[in-house]
Amino acid sequence: MPPSPFRRAPGARPRARLLPRLATRVLAVLAVVLGTALAGPAPEARAAVTLTRVTDFGSDPGALTMYVYRPVTLPAHPPVVVALHGCTQSAQVYADNSGLPQLADQDGFLLVLAETGTANNPNKCFNWFQTADNRRGQGEALSVRQMVSHAVTAYGADPRRVYVTGLSAGGAMTAVMLAAYPDVFAAGAVVAGLPYDCTRDTSPYTCMNPGVDRSPADWAGRVHDAYPSYTGPWPRTAVWYGDQDTTVVPRNADELRDQWTALHGLSQTPTRTTTIGPDATRQDQYLAADGTVAVEVDRVPGIGHGTPVDPGTGGEQCGGTGAPYFLDSICSSRWIARFFGLDTSSPGDPGPGDPGPGGGSAACWTASNYAQVQAGRATTSAGFTYANGSHQNMGLYNTFVTHTLKESPTGYFTIADTGCP
């Protein structure tokens, strides 16, 4: 019998043993869910993104490979985004189709791509379901942590602005990183992934479909157990799902929401609901007391299992459909960068490197939201404050929430709490 995709390949380093019945039942599931091709005409070829392989990032107990995409123009102490590919994919495929390198160029962040291979998992899935890999201080989780440490020391990246995102098994591994290293990651975005530690007492295929319903407190407790001495703050978390996903069913979006809202001490009822993008993606946001979005759930209509992309050259477009599991719908990477606070442009607004009409150098003001509005640098609507120009949400309109706003060009303001100009 071929090796189960939820276990190590023969000859690989030993791993925690899963229930024997998984070996046969999971193979049937994966014949559908982890196929390497999708029906339809061959996609248009795209130029490959140039990645740099890093071989000396640490002891690498999880036997992963590190790649870096470094924009030609990178600011001092840039943010870091870690990207984790899905099953059957590679770092190169994820870079070529997710749109993240394009956004790294535009928004000025360092992109780190972790890659697993068939020696770890026959279907090249991150082992989100195995305790040897999904716990702090060991296995694949520690390898990814070491990549972040290397990015900070070798590239001078900002350790306070480290983020993680990934698809499917990479999405589940994103939840692992947020749970195991909440002191490292400021925020994460789980795309078609699963709640942390679902497989503690349930098989992986049951977690994937039909999913597992647990209480918010139970889910939150599993994250607490990943790092018992940690007292917060918890990473901000975005969740992205296709509403027709039959591989990792949308119930997991609800369970992820329950897990992370409970950690933040929030209700499971959204603070506000809007529609975004060309396909009217439903966006539910759960706001913390200071008005920041602590948890966000984005439900993309009409698509199945994959990363939502919107190929094209428009300001809100990104990515390509040149490989399986990249689905033409909405540029999720753009909205994820926006959630992370990395998006330096808005529709119709000047992008980085383009000062816009009138030019001008950056100027900065630190004040309460109330004072920013009174000074004409922001506006208020429905009790919230929005920066003029960028329209970034600054939180509640009051004298208690304080932000630094950067003005560049004249009349265009962005939140710059981590450094200005």
Catalytic residues: 168
Collapse the DSSP code of 272 into the 3-class scheme (helix H, G, I; strand E, B; otherwise coil) and give the result.
strand
* Sequence-ordered list of residues with C-beta below 8 angstroms from that of 105, at least 6 positions apart, any chain: 71, 72, 73
- In this structure, the strands spanning 281-287 and 326-328 are unpaired
What are residue 281's phi and psi, to 5 degrees?
Answer: -60, 135
Three-state SS annotation for 126-163: CCCCCCCCCCCCCHHHHHHHHHHHHHHHHHCCCCCCEE
Work out the angle at residue 205's Cα, subtended by the Cα atoms of residues 21 and 38, and round it to the nearest 5 degrees: 120
Q: b/e string for 198-222 if b means 16 or more Cβ within 10 A? A: bbeeebbbebbbebbebebebbbeb
- Tokens found for residue 287: 């706001």
Rounded Cα distance, 187 and 161, in Å = 8
Kind plus residue range of the DSSP H or E element containing 307: strand 307-309
What are the distances in angstroms from CA 147 to CA 58, 120, 182? 7, 18, 16
Beta strands in 243-280 (DSSP E): 272-276
Best CA proximity match to 317, nearest among 274, 345, 277, 349:
277
Give the number of C-alpha atoms closer than 13 A to the C-alpha of residue 143, restricted to the C-beta side.
25
Tell me, what amino acid is at 91? A
Per this entry, what is the length of the chain?
421
- The 10 Å Cβ neighbour count of residue 357 is 10
Tell me, what amino acid is at 319? G
CB 30 within 8 A of CB 122: no
Beta strands in 168-271 (DSSP E): 187-191, 236-242
